[in-house]
Every structure is written in structure tokens, then in C-alpha cells.
Amino acid sequence: MIRIPFNDDWYLTGEGEPQGPLSVPHDAMFYEKRDPECRNAWNTGYFPGGTYRYTKTFPVPADWHDRHVVLEFEGVYQDCQVLLNGRLAGGHPNGYALFRVEAHSLLEYGTHNRVEVVARNDGPPNSRWYSGSGIHRPVSLLVGGPVHLVPDGVRVHTATLDATDARITVCTTIADTGIAARTATLVHHVYDPRGERVLEHSETLSLPADGLHTVRHDLGVAQARVWSPDDPALYTCRTRLLAHDQILDSVEVRFGIRTVDLDARNGLRLNGIPIKLRGGCLHHDHGVIGAHGLSAAEDRRVRILKAAGYNAIRSAHHPASRALLDACDRHGMLVMDELTDAWFRPKLAGDYSAHFEQWWLRDLESMVAKDYNHPSVIVYSIGNEIAETATARGVELSRRIADTTRELDPTRYVTNCVNGLLNMIAPKDDPVRDARKRHDVDSEPHENLIAVVNFLMSVLMDKLGHLVKLPRADRRTRDVFATVDIAGYNYMHGRYRTDLRRYPERVIVGSETPPPHTARIWREIEHQPRIIGDFTWTAWDYLGEAGIATRVYGASTALYRPYPALLAGTPVIDITGHRQTQSYLNEIIWHRATGPYIAVQPVDQSGRTLSRSGFRTTDSLASWSWEGCEGRTAVVEVYADAAYVELLLNRHSLGSRPIDHEYLARFETEYRPGELTAVAYHADGSELGRTTLISAGPGLRLTLSCDRDRLHADGADLAFLDIALTDDHGTVKPLSDREITVTVDGAATLLGLGSAAPTTEEPFTDPVHTTHHGRALAVLRAGRHPGPITVTVTAEQCRPQHLHLTAQSVTGTTSDFTHF
């Protein structure tokens, strides 16, 4: 079917004034005023949610009366209904599932039609993280004739790979809505990553009337270029359906030639080569632009994660967007795509458990169909921390879902991400069996259960390894692990050695682990083939679960933080894409770098107590610029894969320290500006490496760095502008924070402006925002018209800075229906 972008000229009526015209993807929650009294509270970062009605009118040509027309929504949060010309056409309760609405029977031809999308996110809390609201992923209009290729109807996978000669299987599903059988020719052209045609295959088919017809072709690709994280080579299959040399339909899909194998002897192998997953969990929001599911944001995030040493991500806790998977395909990032956070027991009063048993099969079919051609996807997760997997009913449901997943896609593996501590304390019986009855009763016990587990993990993370070693943890998890291909261990790394001995056929993945434990966990993983990798919580900080990983000076330990807490505060990459200390330590742990890496605990907070968090050990910065803190005690952290390190301040040695099992040596010294140098040594005294931090000079200026100078004028492209307060040589000054103002003129608008401050009342939608540790991020969104763009950034005591970009016309995309 012909795919027509359907993203422009929407109008929104929600909690405030009507908005429009606007382009989707769009996050309506992003523009709300945060409310300390809202029911969502810390879960969504105190964004309240609401009910939203998106409307759009569009022309339908008269000659479409015999066409098959479908509206495709990649994600609407949540519980949405779609109306065409005032009549209910369809909808979906899941805010992350791709779904389609059959439109042809409700359209009025030769005139304008009206589509309405109503999204309801106004009930009791339904998400344990920032959800966003509304049409947060793209929309398409699919148009085909009576005979057409069904959406996601061309599926390609690698059947065999012998050296560089591959056999691929192409399965094509054709729909014929006519009343008579007919003959058609199906043609496949396959192009290599350079765009050269490497094979052609055609077959004449006899199609049944009013039905579906699936055709399978096994094709050979000689001297295939194999897809891998180090060489993410993508092929293209162009499929056409012809009748008497007339094109009835056509589609183009990208795929990768690669194999994935898994067994208890060799662990995980990609293209026959053992591989360990250096993974991180990801929520779907993009920080300062909320839940706007735009391709450029997904691409930037994957690029940054790849540069930080990751080779895998876990979509937490919902199906990933197409744009994210496309980016993972392009850049070579492996994916564990996840179905859901809730089954039949509620975690929150209004969560998806009310719909799961009725909708899980459709959600699963949608996820698999979306993922099938993506070489990056290697594992499906069917659930996150589902406590009912400790019950017989939950185990049976796990078996059903896992078996169904394998039937839908036998080329990938299945896991269930189980929290052993949660299963240990969860009730064994199920006192609320009926879905409707369950939501008539108070769900608070279930919410309290999740809160207890999160609190215990936050304050007792170092003890957790001992808790999950108890026999009860094994009894409550072994049956569910028997239903899947890979046992997903959430915070169960304390059981690795025991379970490897007890279950010799079990393959394990650390599906969710705390960053402070990465060093000790990885030492086990790298020597155990049956532990295939590790996914830290999280690889990228996120909105919501406000304060769960934030360490606060002068405050007691708490699970969440009160308003105006906004971010979870996880310690690897912040919401602006800036790498934190843990990110550089990870590279040392993974043996991708040796160090040394220097980080300094904020000297302006020297001597103050710091709250605990099991998800974060340090808030140190790679900075020796602490103006006004002269004479105060500085705690210096040096990370290296070395025997010992020496620290020098202004070329005078402060002594040496051995590197501990966390790859860390810690020093205390009096802060004096200048040069701070760490030198790492081998055990024999030979130098391994050195690095230096230099104090900032007296000047203050705005320093801008943009990830591109040209945008596509498609209404969706983004430019990310990093803003820093520096001296004249570009050294960031973390104690010089102040308000900055960003104005954008020309063919783009300011979509978001913000910092990585975990607690703030400043909205991301204003053109004025305060930096955090000297940094901020502005995100520009291109419009539909080409032209010049001028960005001006100002701040007190700084000279204004200007940046010039260009929005260019885009060929090959249109929302004009008249050419049909």
C-alpha cells in the first residue's frame, strides 16, 4: 500500500486553549503546567495529564472509492478512540502499540473528511514514569487498490549464512478484496548497501478472491555483507505486484543479513561469533522535548549511546518506536524489545492491567510485525517485573505468551524480566481474578508492593545480592524461567553463580541491574558464556519516577522526591545527552578504555552530607573549575584499569593510590586552581596513561555547539544545540549557572530548552532556562518551508552568540492526496 505521511495540520483541544495547526508527533502533556497536587505525582514528574481531542480535515479524491484506505497510528497515549466523519472507526487502549483503523467504509469521496483522535490520560495514575500524552508517534495514511500488499506484509529474514554466502527468506502477504480470482506477478529486487542490485526474482501467482495469499521465496545472496554492531550493513528489498505490466502495489523494506544463535554451551552468538550485550534500559521520553517521538531524537540518542560503548538497549517497558529501531539498524545497536509493564495485577490503579488479558495478543502481534525486518532486534521481552509470575496462573500465562511469540517469529528469542525480590514478597494467591472486579477494589496494596521493593532496592542495594540468594527467590522464579529461552534477571545478579550450577541449561541475561554494581557484575559476565550480557537501569536519564536515583545534599534518603523534583536522576547519560562519570567508568569496565579518568565531587558542597541511593554512587564532575572554593576539601576520583595511579596538582605529587576492585582510587586535597593530572601505572611501574583537568580562566562566554547546520524542511527534523558557560578557551564553569535566553527566527521553532537539573520548576517550553553545572540544551524543530534559520543565545554578563542554519526542501515526501 502507498504510505502517505499524515502528520501535518492537526488541531488540538485539551485542558487549555485550542492549538493548531500543529504537526505530530506531538506530546500534549509536555505543554501542561506541573502540579504538586496532581494524582500522577512523582510518577510522571508532577505532570497532571488530561483528555485530548486531535482533529484534522483532509481531501479524499473521488476515484478512491474502490481503494483500500487505512489509517496507521504508531502510538497514541492512551486509551484512544478514532472517529471518521463523526463515526467511531477504531482505537486502542495501549499508548505504545502500533494500530490501524480501516477507513474506506467511513470515507466520503470527492470531498473533505474529518478525523478525530481522542486520547484519555486523565484517570488514576497509569504510568510509573513520564508517559506523555496524545499522538506522540507518527501517523500515516495507507492507500491500496483491491489487490495490495498488506501493511508489514513483506518479511525478510536470514535463513542460513555460510561464510559470506547467505540464503534469505522473503515472505509476502497479498490481499485481494475483489470478488473474482485473478493472476498477478510478484517481483522482488534486492539491493546491497551500496545500492547495487544483487538479485531479482519474479513469480506469477493465482490469487484467490476476497482473501489473503502468502508466498514464500528462498533466495541466495552471494558475497553478502553481514550486519553487525561493527558493520551495520543494510540491504533493501523492493517488492512490486504487477498485472499486465501495470503496478498494482509496491513496497520497499530494509533488512540486514545476520544470524543469531543461543545455547547453554556457547551463549549468544551473532553471525557465529560470541557476543556480550553491553546494554542499557531506555524509557521513551527525550528529556527537554518530552515524549515527542521524532526520528532525529532517536537517532541522536543511539549515536551517543554507541559512542559511549553500548551495543544493546532494552526498551523499557513497552514496544520501541519504529524510529528507534531504524536508528539501531543504521548504527549497529542490538535491541531487546519489551511488550509491557503490567499483566493482570495492577501496579497502579489505572494501569494497563485492566486491558492486558483482552489485548495482549493484538499488542504482541503488532510488536512482532513492527520488529520483524529489523536486524537490530534479537530478543523479545514479554514482561517487566510481573509479580504474578510467582503464581501458577502467571506461569501458565508466561508460557502462552512465550509460545505465541515463537509462533509469530521463530527467528528470535524470548525472555521475561523478573525481579526476584518482588516475586519473593508478592502474594502467592490471586485474590482479584476478574479484571473488572479487580479494578472495583482498592489497588493500593499492589502499589505499596512496588513502592516497598523500589525502596528496598534503593537503600539496600548492596545487600540485595544476599537477599535474592534465599531459597524462596528460586522457588518463586524457577517455573517462569522454564517458559522462556532466556532468564531475565532484574536485580538478581547475586544468584548468578548458584543458578549456573543448579540449572546447567539455563541462559541468563542481566535484564536490569544497578550502575554502581556494573564492575563486579561484569567480571562474572565476561567469564560465563551462559550470562549473555547486562542492561543497566538506565542508560539515559528520564522524566518521572522523580528523585529515585537522585542524591541530595543535606537531605535524608527517600524513595521519591517532592515537587518540584522532575527527573529520576540516573547516573550514566543525562537528559541532555551529556555523559556522566559512570558512562566513562563503564568503558573501563568493558575494557574499551583504560583510563585514567578524573572526576571531582562538587567542591562547593564539600563537607555536607549526601543522601544515599542504590542507583547512584557519585555525582562527581570532570571539572577542576570551582571558583570561590579555594582552600576547601576536594574529593577526587580517578578511574583506571591499572595497578595504581598518582595524582599531581600543579605538577606537585599528591601521592599514589592503588586501584580498587571498582577501578577507583580516591584522593582528598585542598582545592587550588591550576592543573590536576592523574597518571596510571602498570604493576611494573611503567606508565599506562595520563589525563589532565585545567581550571577555567576568569572570562565568561556562551559556547555553542550544534549537531548539524542543515535541516530537512519536513516538519519533523531536529537540530540539537549544546550551550555551555565557559571561559575564553572553552572550559566549562560549573558554578557560573544563570538564565539563558534562546530565540529562533526563520524556518524552525524552539521545541524545547532545558538542563539536566533533577529538580526545577522551570518548564522546557519557555525560551528562558537556567543552566545546570554550566550546561543546557536547546532543540529546534524544522517547519514545512525551506529557508534560513538564525538562533540567538543570550545570558547576563555574556556576549550574545548567533548560530546560522538552513532548512532545505525535501523531495519524495508529501501529504497532498490529489496526485492519486
121 three-class SS: coil
- Pick the range with the lowest mean pLDDT from 432-436, 698-702, 729-733: 432-436
Per-residue pLDDT reduced to its tens digit, 513-560: 999 999 999 999 999 999 999 999 999 999 999 999 999 998 887 889
DSSP state of 231: B
pLDDT bin (cut points 50, 70, 90) of residue 448 is low
Q: Are 755 and 772 in contact (CB under 8 A)?
A: yes
Query: How many residues are there in the chain?
Result: 820
Q: How far is CA 491 from the centre of its chain?
A: 20
Cα-based torsion angle of the residue sequence 525, 526, 529, 533 in order, rounded to the nearest 10 degrees? 50
Q: Are 474 and 495 in contact (CB under 8 A)?
A: yes
Q: Which three cell numbers stand for residue 750?
A: 524552539
Q: Residue 450 belongs to what H/E stretch? A: helix 444-459
Picking from 350, 339, 424, the residue whose alpha carbon sits closest to that of residue 382 is 339
Picking from 17, 41, 19, the residue whose alpha carbon sits closest to that of residue 561 is 41
pLDDT of residue 24: 98
Mean pLDDT of the chain: 94
Mean pLDDT of 238-253: 95
Buried b (16+ CB within 10 A) or exposed e, 248-262: bbebebbbbbbbbeb
Pairing label, strands 111-120, 51-60: antiparallel
Mean pLDDT of 242-250: 93
pLDDT value at 443 more than 90 = no
| Domain annotation for the chain: domains and CATH numbers | 2-144 (2.60.120.260), 147-255 (2.60.40.10), 275-588 (3.20.20.80), 596-622+628-692 (2.60.40.10), 701-808 (2.60.40.10)
Considering the entire predicted model, what is its pTM?
0.96
Residue % of the chain over a pLDDT of 90: 89
Buried b (16+ CB within 10 A) or exposed e, 162-200: eeeebebebebebbbbeeeeeebebebbbbbbeeeebbe
Residue % of the chain over a pLDDT of 70: 95
Burial (CB < 10 A; 0-12, 13-18, 19+), residue 679, is buried
Q: Which three cell numbers stand for residue 809?
A: 526542501
pLDDT value at 447 more than 80 = no
Determine phi and psi for 629, rounding to 5 degrees: -105, 15
pLDDT of residue 210: 81
Integer CA distances (angstroms), 731 to 129, 618, 626, in order: 35, 22, 12
Distance CA 321, CA 69 (A): 23
Distance CA 754, CA 283 (A): 18
pLDDT of residue 163: 85
- Which residues, 6+ apart, have CB-to-CB distance to 684 below 8 Å? none
DSSP state of 608: -
pLDDT bin (cut points 50, 70, 90) of residue 430 is low
376 three-class SS: coil
Sequence-distant contacts of 404-409: CB under 8 A, at least 24 apart: 404/361, 404/364, 405/364, 405/368, 405/380, 408/364, 408/365, 408/368, 409/368, 409/371, 409/372, 409/380
Helices 295-307 & 322-331, crossing angle to 10 degrees?
A: 40
Q: Are 361 and 401 in contact (CB under 8 A)?
A: no
pLDDT value at 439 more than 70 = no
- Kindly report the CA angle at 686 between 684 and 691, in degrees rounded to 5? 135
Amino acid (one-letter) located at 237: C
pLDDT of residue 434: 43
pLDDT bin (cut points 50, 70, 90) of residue 576 is very high
pLDDT of residue 815: 47
pLDDT of residue 612: 87
Per-residue pLDDT reduced to its tens digit, 593-636: 999 999 999 999 999 999 988 899 999 999 999 999 999 999 99
Distance CA 785, CA 625 (A): 44
pLDDT bin (cut points 50, 70, 90) of residue 164 is confident
pLDDT of residue 263: 96
Q: Which three cell numbers stand for residue 45?
A: 514528574
pLDDT bin (cut points 50, 70, 90) of residue 209 is confident
Integer CA distances (angstroms), 552 to 3, 602, 610, 620, 621, in order: 50, 12, 6, 13, 15
pLDDT of residue 812: 60
DSSP state of 482: T
Per-residue pLDDT reduced to its tens digit, 229-244: 999 999 999 999 999 8
Amino acid (one-letter) located at 201: H
Per-residue pLDDT reduced to its tens digit, 325-358: 999 999 999 999 999 999 999 999 999 999 999 9
pLDDT of residue 208: 84
Q: Which three cell numbers stand for residue 165?
A: 554466502
**What does R_g of the chain's alpha carbons equal in angstroms?**
27
- Which residues, 6+ apart, have CB-to-CB distance to 231 below 8 Å? 225, 332
- Kindly report the CA angle at 465 between 463 and 470, in degrees rounded to 5? 105
Picking from 415, 430, 407, the residue whose alpha carbon sits closest to that of residue 353 is 430
pLDDT value at 454 more than 80 = no
Residue linked to cell 553481514: 226
Dmax (CA) for the chain in angstroms is 90
pLDDT value at 300 more than 70 = yes
**Strand ordering across the sheet containing 652-658:** 652-658, 644-649, 675-681, 687-694
Mean pLDDT of 772-777: 98
pLDDT of residue 459: 67
Q: Residue 255 belongs to what H/E stretch? A: strand 246-255
Name residue 487's beta-bridge partners.
Answer: 416, 508
Distance CA 165, CA 176 (A): 35
Distance CA 412, CA 67 (A): 35
Per-residue pLDDT reduced to its tens digit, 362-388: 999 999 999 999 999 999 999 999 999
Q: Are 753 and 776 in contact (CB under 8 A)?
A: yes
Picking from 242, 167, 179, the residue whose alpha carbon sits closest to that of residue 210 is 179
pLDDT value at 287 more than 50 = yes
pLDDT bin (cut points 50, 70, 90) of residue 15 is low
- Which residues, 6+ apart, have CB-to-CB distance to 360 below 8 Å? 339, 340, 343, 401
Pairing label, strands 787-795, 801-808: antiparallel
Q: Are 344 and 358 in contact (CB under 8 A)?
A: no
pLDDT bin (cut points 50, 70, 90) of residue 441 is very low
- Which residues, 6+ apart, have CB-to-CB distance to 300 below 8 Å? 577, 707, 718, 720
Picking from 458, 735, 738, the residue whose alpha carbon sits closest to that of residue 605 is 735
